[in-house]
Amino acid sequence: MSVEWAGIGPEVLLRLDRSAGEPLRVQLERGLREAIRSGRLEPGERLPSSRAMAAELGISRGLVLECYSQLQAEGFLTSRSGSATRVAAGALARAELPVRPPPSARLAVDFRPGVPDLTSFPRGDWVWALRESCRKATPLELGYGDPRGVEFLRVVLAGYLRRVRGAVADAERVVVCAGFAQGINLVLGALSTCGINRVAIEDPGDNDYLEICERLGIRAVPVRIDERGVDVDALAAARVGAVILTPTHQFPTGVALASERRQALVAWAQARGAMIIEDDYDAEFRYDRDPVGALQGLAPDRVALIGSVSKCLAPGLRLGWVVCPPELLEPLVEAKRLNDRGSPALEQLALATLVESGRFDRHVRRMRQVYGSRRDTLVRSLSERAPAIVLHGLAAGFHAVADLTAEADEHAIVAQARERSVGLYGMSSFCPSGRSSAPRLVLGFGNLSQAAIERGIVAVADLL
């Protein structure tokens, strides 16, 4: 699909050499042909009007009209009376263009975990916050500022994390980043700078850590997760210098790290001088349990707390933060400075304004009710249509774990459900060690309406 440029004169970079003996019209024709053949101008793309092109290049309009007429005759351009001149649909035929596989058919119901409700983004509140930020932003805030981020947001985030997550946070140790993905890369890079080359990851957990660590020259060591969280004895035996955890609501099993294991984990980190990387990805959404504070509050010098707005607002905002332990702050900030010179200022100011105004808290409370209702719909639908299924991990977040019967073929069920246009996801696909486990499904319900959840369960109930 070509871009539909607004205005009468979208500029095109063309050079005419008046000192050459070659006529200007010939140069103009050749320049436009090359721009079309190379793909700089795509099929359907609008060219400047003849008047605008002539003014831009300092030539006569008649010369441009002659050029356009010649290229239309050759099939490079097309035009109708009263309409703009455009690149012809069949003008681009580059053999070097890669052949892309056709996009996968969209699933009717997709239980993909980790996706929030993308239709509930508070557009009105965000527009208001952006408008306020544009109105109040100082010239200093719009320049190349502190690579840690805009001070206003760092102050607000530190206060929010102290209030809501029980974190030990101050603005000096908060670094704003482009979502969790950049945050984890910055923290692991800082650890590598400090000489740590072995990091434990949860099993089951996020397989992306294998590739992220490999790219940074770090060995990722999977450590078993059971019904009480990470196995601290296995972690100690792994001889690692750091561990990446989701202690509040483990992904994907949904368990919370047991209290005695929290204490044992902190003791391990302090005794070994190791670092804990805490992924605080969906702690705002809880239903049947009391709030669980961030692990970072127990050992702020040993825990790097990473959070983002991807689950509570939208992943597309690409806004996150790291609360750094003192020894990681300097290398992490320097890496952030070299990486991108800092995150977008207006979006940072808008988030700070949204949180400080109370509108962020209001949105989270509303979404907690929305996700709670969807969770209840999933439980009810399964109890009615597939009563043999046992669900776990329902106290928080917006995904659940479904235990299948012992003889069930997890891979076959996932494949057969996709044939019915329903996306199911097996627990085995989240095991970085590749070890086999009891057949289970990870069912995300965050981006599905209650009606869609019911339709999806009806469609696959006989498989379950």
pLDDT, one tens digit per residue, over 252-294 is 999 999 999 999 999 999 999 999 999 998 878 888 767 788 9
In 3D space, the residue among 139, 134, 141 whose CA is nearest the CA of residue 155 turns out to be 141
pLDDT at 87: 86
Cis peptide before 204 (omega within 30 of 0): yes
| Euclidean distance between the first and the last CA atom of the chain, given in angstroms as a whole number | 42
**Which DSSP helix (H) or strand (E) runs through 211?**
helix 208-215
- Please give the model's pTM, rounded to 2 decimal places: 0.84
| 168 DSSP β-pair partners | none
pLDDT at 189: 95
- Name the phi and psi angles at 129, rounded to 5: -65, -40
pLDDT (tens digit per residue) in 131-184? 999 999 999 999 998 999 999 999 999 999 999 999 999 999 999 999 999 999
In 3D space, the residue among 315, 182, 303, 177 whose CA is nearest the CA of residue 246 turns out to be 303
Residue owning tokens 């988030």: 351
What is the Cα–Cα distance from 349 to 142, expressed in whole angstroms? 10
Cβ-count burial of 322 within 10 angstroms (0-12 exposed, 13-18 middle, 19+ buried)? buried
Report the alpha-carbon angle 441-446-447, nearest 5. Answer: 105
| 222 DSSP β-pair partners | 201
Q: What is the CA radius of gyration of the chain?
A: 28
What is the Cα–Cα distance from 173 to 184, expressed in whole angstroms? 16
pLDDT at 344: 94
pLDDT at 362: 96
In the chain, the largest separation of any two C-alpha atoms, in whole Å, equals 85
Q: What is the mean pLDDT of the chain?
A: 91
Residues above pLDDT 90, as percent of the chain: 71
What is the Cα–Cα distance from 109 to 454, expressed in whole angstroms? 10
Residue owning tokens 């806004």: 319
Which ranges of the chain have pLDDT less than 70? 1-11, 82, 91-99, 289
| 305 DSSP β-pair partners | 278, 323
**E strand segments, 235-274:** 242-245
pLDDT (tens digit per residue) in 225-247? 999 999 999 999 999 999 999 99
CB atoms closer than 10 angstroms to residue 273? 10
**247: helix, strand or coil:** coil
Q: Based on DSSP, count helices (H) and strands (E) in the chain, helices before strands.
A: 14, 15
Q: Is the Cβ–Cβ distance between 415 and 339 less than 8 Å?
A: no
Domains and CATH numbers, the chain: 24-87 (1.10.10.10), 109-115+362-460 (3.90.1150.10), 122-357 (3.40.640.10)
